A = this chain, B = another copy of it.
Amino acid sequence: MAKDEAPTRIQRDRRRRIREAGLEVFSAKGFRGATVDEIAQAAGLSKPNLLYYFATKEAIYTDLLARLLKAWLDPLRALDPEGEPMAELLAYVRRKLHLARDFPRESRLFAGEILRGAPLMGADLSGDLRRLVDARAGVIAGWMATGRLAPSDPHHLIFSIWALTQHYADFEVQVRAVLGDVRDPWAEAERHLVTHFTRLLTPLVAI
A residues near B, CB below 8 A? 28-33, 108, 111-112, 114-118, 122, 125-126, 129-130, 133-134, 150, 152-153, 155-157, 159-160, 162-164, 166-168, 170-171, 173-175, 177-180, 188-189, 191-192, 195-196, 199-200
Contacts and interface: CB of A to CB of B under 8 A. Distances in A.
B152 A159 contact: no
B192 A118 contact: no
A53 B177 CA distance: 33
Contact of A122 (B126, B168, B173, B192): B173
Contact of A125 (B126, B130, B178, B188): B178
Given A30-B33, A33-B32, A200-B196, A115 B178 contact: no
A114 B28 contact: no
Chain A: interface secondary structure?
Answer: helix
A114 B30 contact: no
A122 to B, nearest CB: 7
A199 B196 contact: no
Contacts of A29: 32, 116
Contacts of A199: 150, 199-200
Contacts of A111: 111, 115, 170-171
Nearest to A125: B177
A108 B117 CA distance: 10
Contact of A129 (B112, B126, B162, B178): B178
Q: Which of A122, A130, A153 has the most CB of B within 10 A?
A: A153
Contacts of A122: 173, 177
A152 B115 contact: no
A28 B117 contact: yes
Contacts of A153: 188, 191-192
